[in-house]
Structures are given as C-alpha cells and as structure tokens.
C-alpha cells in the first residue's frame, strides 16, 4: 500500500472533457467471442439449455448476445449447447429478430406483450417452449439477473423470473433439472461478462465519458435560486437512455417519496446530490452549495475534516492500490483500514463491476478470494455516512488493463487512448494521485472532489 499524502483544498483547473465523440459498435468478432464464452461455461457446468429472461430493466444478459433489449415487453433467449438459439418474443419485438446479432429462429409468445393486446395463439406457452427445444430429461439453466449469494444451497432453485414463465418451463420439460444459471453471465469469479476485450472497453468508455462530462456540466450550473429540474436537464446527454434514476437533489431528499428532480429551489448552504449514468459508467457527486466553509451551517462547519477529506483519502487509496491479481477481500480491507466502517457507516461493496448495467456484480467483499483481472470495468463506490452531515461522493469508472490490453487499446482506439492519457495527466499532476499503469480512467472526473459547489476553482488534492 502506498503511503497517503497530506490532503488539502487547492486551486486547480477543472478536468478536461470531451463532447460529440462517436459511439463504438461491438464487432461481429466480439459477438462471436461472447457466444463462445457462454457455450464454454454451459459445457463446464453441465447445462444443456440456457434460458435467458429479459425485460426493459433486466435485459443485459439477453442483450449480451442479441444486441438489443425487449424494450417494454418480456423476452426469452433459448441457447442450446450445440449453439442453436431461439428468441421467444412478444408482439412488438418480433420485428427485431432479423436484426439480432445472433443467428436465431423466432417464436411468438403474445403473453409477453402489453395488456389488452391481441393474445390469440394456437399453441400454449409450454408448447411454444417445447418448439424452442426446451424438453424433459435435460439440465436447464435459468438466467435472470440475481445471484442470490450469501443465502444457502437452495439458491440454485430460486429464480427471479415471472412465475408464469417458470411454470411453463416446468410443464414443457417434465423431469428436467432446473438451475439458477445467472452466474454463467455475472458470477464475479467466472461469469462470461466480467472480463471485457478492447472492443468492449471502447464501447463502454463512450458512456463513462458521457456521464462524467454531463456531471461536470451540471456541477458548474448549481446556484442558489435554480430548481432541481433546471440542473437535472444538463445530466441528459446525446439522447442516450440512463441506466439508473437520475439524481439532482437539493436539501433533504425523498420528501413525499419523490425520487426524481423536482421544483425545489437550491438554497445557499444546502446539501446537494447529482448522479447520472449510461452504459459503461456512472458519475455521482455529493457536496454543499457554498463558496467556502464559512457559509456552511454551524452544525457541519467541520464537514471538510470530518467527511470530505477522510473520504477522499479512501478514494486515493483505492485508486493507487487497485491492480489485477489483488483479491476483492484485499481491496475491501484496504478501505476498511483507511475509512473504518464503524465510524463512516458505509455498508455496500466498496467497488463493483459495470457494463450495460450500472451494477453488474461485485468481486469486492470482506472475505472475497476472487482476484481482480485485466479487462474488468469498475466503479469507485464508497459511500460514507456521518450523522448530521451531508455525504461526499466522487463515484466514477476505471478499467483494469494489463500491458497487452493497453497496447491493443492504444493501437485500435487511438482517440480513446489519448483521452485516457489526458485524464491520467490531470489526475497525477493536478490531483496528485499516483495511478498504476494498469488503471485506466474512463470517466473524466476520476479523483475530482469539489466540496464547495459554488467555488469551481478549488478541489481536494494530495499533491505535495
């Protein structure tokens, strides 16, 4: 572990940002590699047929192979060990099957459609599933989006899939063994989706850049008299869909059970929270609407020393020490040592993987022996809480990449590589964080903590 430098509030420029950068499309080779990964894991785990559930909120595993989500309907991907694939789709997604990134045969299940749409069908759902090759005498893996870890051995029979679908699978395949197979995709130890190739990392860097550019734009717009909605409008970007609920909240959150930016007006001295996220990366900030500590409410006048600086030290330790080969348990204990849970009351995993989802899974937990690996895309996610004080947050995204993967990114995506190097230069020269070569900042705002939102010229630094 590197020795932490003293932390202080210093004058510094804002981090560089990039707008209007092109998206990176996943290649046919990447999609073929993804399918091969899945089939290999099915073979290793003795799964004859993998049945992948999707809806709008939980479409990442389905999209991993097909390239699309079922929008406002439900869908199933049925993948057999021989590589044959079927898509079971509702009324309004049938037209997407010919555009899928996976060779398939399509089957119509009108019960997956919206209420009161035509649902006449000559076959029952179990019969349609049998047509898709779901039959008895096999081992069927059901993949939703939960791993049900930390429970008991019965988790293999717990399914986060609508009961009418699970019942239909059982009717279609009497005597089959049903397993929860979500881990085939997202087990932090062996899931197909936890490691990214260069093309996948470039695909996701677009979203991390998008979110962090938007968060800095919104930070710079915070001012007394503005409404949450006015600030939140700056968090939308390029017409892309958010993969979390957008946050622009001043003062006390959740009044009247409201989750969304509203008409509340920003006041001097307010706590303020901002979050936006796209495929590949979330950026989040929490601080006070003041120009200096002198404008803080008296009860939290020592916020900088009590919350912001200890939290910043934890983020610095996270960034300076994370590396491939480090176990999730070692990273957890590192943060516990710098920011003790008993004092700062964080309770979620201090770091997790991201992809199409903001939270894919996490190898980071108290006793985790899972090694971090090149190709992982991670979010800094340490959430301190001190009673009576506003929070501090600089959640952003980094990738881990060994020498081979770094060389491939530099060769295949030179503009991305130039952005990574510019971000690294800012983090090291202005913020004073010594990033290992294997840590690639994908967000523009990695390490940038501005505790006084009305002072855009100052941020925390550990630069000597």
Architecture label for domain 48-180 = 3-Layer(aba) Sandwich (3.40)
Stretch 379-401: mean pLDDT, rounded?
A: 95
**Lookup: tokens for 175:** 């005597």
Task: Indicate the average pLDDT of the chain.
Answer: 95
Extract the runs of DSSP E, i.e. beta strands, from 289-390: 352-353, 377-379
Stretch 222-239: mean pLDDT, rounded?
A: 97
Domain ranges of the chain: 8-24+194-461, 48-180
Q: Which of 105-114, 139-148, 250-259, 300-309 has the lowest mean pLDDT?
A: 250-259
Q: What is the DSSP letter of 428?
A: I
pLDDT of residue 333: 97
**pLDDT interval class at 156 (50, 70, 90):** low
Class of domain 8-24+194-461 (CATH, top level): alpha beta
The runs of H, that is alpha helices, within 17-57 are: 28-45
**pLDDT interval class at 157 (50, 70, 90):** confident
Q: Which of 15-19, 156-160, 209-213 has the lowest mean pLDDT?
A: 156-160
- The answer, yes or no, to whether residue 151 has pLDDT greater than 80, is no
pLDDT one-digit tens code per residue, 31-66: 999 999 999 999 999 999 999 999 999 999 999 999
DSSP code per residue over 190-229 = T-TTSS--HHHHHHHHHHHHHHHHHHHHHHHH--TT-BHH
Element (H, E) at 449: none
- The answer, yes or no, to whether residue 152 has pLDDT greater than 60, is no
**pLDDT interval class at 3 (50, 70, 90):** low
């Amino acid at each position: 572990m590197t020795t932490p430098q003293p932390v202080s509030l210093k004058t510094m420029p804002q981090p560089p940002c990039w707008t209007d950068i092109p998206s990176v499309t996943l290649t046919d080779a990447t999609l073929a590699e993804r399918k091969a990964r899945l089939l290999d894991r099915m073979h290793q785990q003795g799964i004859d047929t993998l049945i992948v559930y999707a809806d709008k909120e939980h479409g990442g595993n389905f999209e991993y192979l097909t390239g699309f989500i079922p929008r406002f309907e439900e869908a199933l991907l049925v993948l057999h060990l021989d590589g044959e694939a079927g898509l079971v789709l509702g009324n309004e997604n049938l037209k997407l099957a010919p555009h899928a990134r996976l060779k398939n045969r399509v089957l119509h299940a009108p019960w997956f459609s919206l209420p009161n749409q035509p649902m006449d069908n000559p076959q029952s759902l179990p019969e349609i599933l049998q047509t898709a090759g779901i039959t008895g005498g096999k081992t069927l893996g059901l993949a939703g989006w939960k791993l049900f870890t930390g429970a008991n051995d019965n988790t293999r029979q717990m399914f986060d899939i609508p009961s009418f679908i699970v019942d239909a699978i059982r009717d279609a395949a009497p005597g089959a063994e049903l397993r929860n197979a979500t881990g085939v995709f997202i087990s932090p130890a062996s899931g197909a989706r936890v490691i990214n190739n260069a093309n996948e990392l470039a695909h996701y860097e677009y979203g991390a850049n998008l979110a962090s550019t938007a968060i800095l734009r919104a930070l710079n717009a915070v001012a007394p008299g503005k409404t949450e909605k006015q600030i939140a409008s700056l968090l939308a970007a390029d017409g892309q869909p958010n993969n979390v609920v957008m946050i622009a909240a001043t003062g006390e959150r959740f009044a009247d059970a409201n989750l969304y930016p509203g008409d509340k007006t920003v006041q001097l001295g307010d706590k303020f929270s901002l979050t936006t996220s796209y495929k590949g990366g979330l950026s989040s900030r929490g601080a006070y609407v003041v120009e200096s500590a002198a404008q803080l409410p008296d009860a939290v006048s020592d916020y900088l020393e009590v919350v912001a600086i200890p939290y910043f030290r934890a983020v610095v330790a996270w960034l300076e020490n994370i590396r491939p080969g480090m176990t999730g348990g070692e990273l957890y204990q590192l943060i516990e040592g710098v920011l003790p849970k008993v004092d700062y009351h964080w309770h979620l995993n201090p770091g997790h993987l991201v992809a199409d989802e903001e939270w894919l899974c996490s190898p980071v937990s108290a006793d985790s022996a899972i090694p971090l690996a090149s190709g992982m895309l991670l979010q800094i996610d340490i959430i301190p809480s001190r009673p009576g004080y506003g929070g501090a947050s600089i959640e952003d995204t980094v990738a881990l990449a060994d020498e081979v993967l770094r060389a491939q990114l530099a060769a295949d995506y030179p503009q991305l590589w130039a952005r990574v190097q510019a971000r690294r230069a800012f983090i090291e020269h202005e913020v004073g964080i010594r990033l290992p070569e294997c840590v690639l900042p994908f967000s523009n705002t990695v390490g940038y903590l501005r505790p006084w939102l009305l002072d855009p010229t100052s941020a925390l630094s550990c630069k000597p």
